[in-house]
Amino acid sequence: MIGLRVARLLLGALLFLALGNSALAVPAESARFETEAQAQRYQRLVRELRCTVCQNQNLIESSAPLAADLRRQVAQMIREGQSDEQIVAYLVVRYGDFVLFRPPLQASTYLLWFGPGLLLVLGLGVLGWKLWQRRARTAPVPLSDDEYACLRRLLDDDAGGGR
């Protein structure tokens, strides 16, 4: 009796979650184009441009109102016959290089392009230095003459008295 009740509650919860998620989905684009080439350009552009609100989502994945506005703007510019370069240039002027998933290589983006490599080299350098330090600390130190004589006496006493 209790098992059946728990099963019904779990089934109801799963059904609720499954139906509730559809309300969070990004609505399908209603952009209409005259040619298939325009539709393909649109899809390529909205996948390459970043939502400035969501930061790590492209325009097609984002449900932010700004992303919807940008999708409409891109569709309108494609219908007007503007090139991909013109569309990207317009958005860069308006929102900066941040709107691009692959920003151009320039002085202001050097850290973005070369930072991960520099961090890797720095990390490997620190690791190498630590390993070198550890090996230097654990290297055997030769015994002094007094220490050697003391060790010899201990070994001789142990060998003769232990049997």
Q: What does the pLDDT look like over 22-73, one tens digit per residue?
A: 444 444 445 778 788 888 999 999 988 988 887 678 888 888 898 889 999 9
Domain range for 138 is 113-161
Q: Which residues 6+ apart lie within 8 Å of 145 measured at CB?
A: none
Residues 31 and 80 in one domain: yes
Residue appearing with tokens 């961090």: 119
CB 105 within 8 A of CB 112: no
- Position 32 scores a pLDDT of 79
Residues 6 and 46 in one domain: yes
- Position 23 scores a pLDDT of 41
The whole-angstrom separation of Cα 31 and Cα 79 is 10
Residues 76 and 16 in one domain: yes
Residues 124 and 100 in one domain: no
Q: Show which of 104, 137, 153 is a domain's final residue.
A: 104
- Position 19 scores a pLDDT of 55
Q: Quickly list H helices, the chain.
A: 2-21, 36-48, 65-79, 84-95, 110-138, 145-161
- Position 62 scores a pLDDT of 84
Q: Show which of 104, 126, 141 is a domain's final residue.
A: 104
Residues 74 and 153 in one domain: no
pTM above 0.85, yes or no: no
In Å, how far from its chain's centre is CA 78?
31
What is the count of structural domains for the chain?
2
Helices 84-95 and 65-79, packing angle to 10 deg: 150
Q: Has residue 161 got a pLDDT over 60?
A: no
Residues 94 and 47 in one domain: yes
Residues 119 and 90 in one domain: no
